[in-house]
Structure 1
Amino acid sequence: MKYPVKLEKEITADHYQITVPDLPGCQAKAKTIDEGLTKIEQAIASHMSILAEYGEAIPTPHPVDYYVNQTGQSGQNSSTIWAITKIDISPYLGKSHKINVTLPELLIKKIDHQVAQSPAYKTRSGFIASACLSELQK
Structure 2
Amino acid sequence: MLYPILIHKDSGSVYGVTVPDLPGCFSAGDTMDEALQQAREAIELHIEGLLEDGQSVPLPQTIDTHIQADQGLGGSWALVDIDLDRLMGPAERINITVPRFALRKIDSAAAKSGMNRSQYLVSSALKNSNPGTQADTN
- TM normalised by structure 2 equals 0.67
Q: TM-score, normalised by structure 1?
A: 0.67
Residue of structure 2 in register with 1:24 after alignment: 23
Pairing 1:87–2:82 present: yes
Asked if 2 retains the 8 angstrom alpha-carbon contact of 1:52 and 1:94, the reply is no
Match of 2:40, as an amino acid?
Answer: E
Percent identical among aligned pairs is 33
Q: Give, in whole Å, the separation in 2 of the partners of 1:19 and 1:61.
A: 13
Give the C-alpha shift of residue 70 in structure 1.
2.0
- SS of the equivalent of 1:101 reads coil
**What residue ranges of structure 1 are gaps of 5+ in the alignment?**
108-126
Q: Which has the larger radius of gyration?
A: 1
2:59 paired with 1:60: yes
| Per-residue CA distance 1:32-88 (angstroms, 9 max, x = gap) | 1111111110111111111111111110111111222222653xxxx4110011211
Q: Map of 1:1-138 to 2, 5 A cutoff? A: 1-13=1-13, 15-71=14-70, 74=73, 79-93=74-88, 99-102=94-97, 129-136=118-125, 137=127
Note if contact 1:16-1:29 (Cα within 8 Å) is conserved in structure 2: yes
Structure 2: 5+ residue stretches without partners: 104-115, 129-138
Separation in structure 2 between the aligned mates of residue 2 and residue 53 of structure 1, nearest angstrom: 21
Please give the secondary structure, in 1, of the residue aligned with 2:57: coil
